[in-house]
Amino acid sequence: MILVECPLNSLSFGNVSLNILRELFKEKKQVALFPIGENHDLSAYNLEQDFQDWISNSLSSKWKNWHQDMPSLKLWHLMGSENRKSRNQTLYTFYECSEPTEIERAVASNQARTIFSSSYARDKFQAYGIDCHFIPLGFDPDFKQITVPRPENTVQFGLMGKFEHRKHTSKIIKSWLKRYGNNPAFNLNLCVTNPFFKPEDMNAILAACFDGVHYNNVNILPYLKTNEDVNGFLNFIDIDLGGLSGAEGWNLPSFNATCLGKWSVVLNATSHKDWANSDNSVLVEPSSTIEAHDAIFFKKGSPFNQGVFFDWSEEDFNNAMDIVETKVGQINAAGVKLSQQLTYKNMVSQLLSGLETD
């Protein structure tokens, strides 16, 4: 019996949680499942009935099976992970910053085992003498190569994910518009939003990226509610731009696009180094760093999330566009191979090995 504490939703953490649970189900593990957050919602996923039944049973029987010494796996941020339901808690967490704070180091130190989603994060904490580990994520098997109707004789760029300072969302959009704006041979498909912003604020933030100019080759999409919709988006585009993010715990949209045979332009920094290389991506080297604080999600002086993010130059952006344009129409064979190398089956096997031997 394993206690699993994780969010069950359509966001990135929820997607990772679901895929780990699916592998535990395949391994016929008994789980006491404790969702993080007041509500849990798996409507974004098309789940087989027996897996749904297993999840329901794991939820309904959790208190009956719970005890403080059982092996526990928690998927969550460092903030909040000082709270645990088991003395034997393995924490799997994402970290994007560069300067682990005293509190973050304390949280990581006081777990039975702390595992990061990137070697970059692991190395940052190990530099303080903290015993921690790295296990990579896997490719979501719900994503498949499919044919999606699309206009002919156009190159489709895509940018998906939260609109954030950390992800350089505004800079990516403005750089693309400066090069391709109103050129009918190139389209930009934007699926960028942020659930923490009010709709009217999100609209104003997006509008600021266009500086009052109307562009007829930009498609602004609403938040995609299902995995199936996300799969359709990733299959529609030729080129992913989300890899230009300045700091990531993994970067699921860009990773998934690459695994589907698309081409991603990727900043060669943080977690990207664990899956992107010159064979499967168009790499951009960091030109500098910027302060992490944005006064919204990353606040200077906070006990969590301090440091810098990596940045890139407009010249390097344009050089990368020159390269990636030549790859349009070619299947990214190395990216497809990546999907076979990094799997949730392998990830969960490593997680179970630690849980069973602690």
How many C-alpha atoms does 115 have within 13 Å on its Cβ side?
22
Using alpha carbons only, give the angle 63, 45, 49 rounded to the nearest 5 degrees.
65
pTM for the whole structure: 0.96
Question: What is the average per-residue pLDDT within 91-100?
Answer: 98
Print burial letters for 254-280: b (CB count within 10 Å at least 16), e (below 16). bbbbbbbbbbbbbbbbbbbebbbeeeb
Which CA distances in Å does 354 have to 91, 114, 118, 121?
11, 10, 17, 19
Q: Which of 244, 273, 259 is nearest to 342 (CA)?
A: 259
Confidence of residue 356 (pLDDT cuts 50, 70, 90): low
Confidence check: pLDDT of 358 > 60: no
Confidence check: pLDDT of 254 > 60: yes
Confidence check: pLDDT of 55 > 50: yes
155-341: CATH class: alpha beta
Residue 102: the pLDDT is: 98
Give CA–CA dist 271/251, Å, rounded. 8
Q: Starting from the edge strand earliest in sequence, which strands make up the sheet with 72-75, in order? A: 31-35, 2-6, 72-75, 89-93, 113-116, 133-134
pLDDT above 90 as % of the chain:
94
Q: What is the pLDDT of residues 126-179, one digit of tens each?
A: 999 999 999 999 999 999 999 999 999 999 999 999 999 999 999 999 999 999
Give CA–CA dist 17/174, Å, rounded. 34
Question: What is the average per-residue pLDDT within 5-26?
Answer: 96
Confidence of residue 197 (pLDDT cuts 50, 70, 90): confident
Question: What is the average per-residue pLDDT within 281-300?
Answer: 94
Give CA–CA dist 1/325, Å, rounded. 51
- Work out whether strand 288-291 and strand 239-240 pair parallel, antiparallel, or are unpaired: unpaired
Print burial letters for 126-146: b (CB count within 10 Å at least 16), e (below 16). beeebebbbbbbbbbebbeee
As separate numbers, helices (DSSP H) first and strands (DSSP E) second, the chain gives 12, 14
Token code pair at residue 56 = 């329901």
Domain 2-138+343-357, CATH number (from 3.20.19.10, 3.90.800.10, 3.40.50.2000, 3.90.1200.10):
3.40.50.2000
Question: What is the average per-residue pLDDT within 244-250?
Answer: 98
Domain(s) labelled CATH 3.40.50.2000 in the chain stretch across 2-138+343-357, 155-341
- Work out whether strand 288-291 and strand 308-311 pair parallel, antiparallel, or are unpaired: antiparallel
Question: What is the average per-residue pLDDT within 213-224?
Answer: 96
The mean pLDDT of the chain is 96
User: What is the amino acid identity at position 321?
Assistant: M
pLDDT above 70 as % of the chain:
99
- Work out whether strand 263-267 and strand 2-6 pair parallel, antiparallel, or are unpaired: unpaired
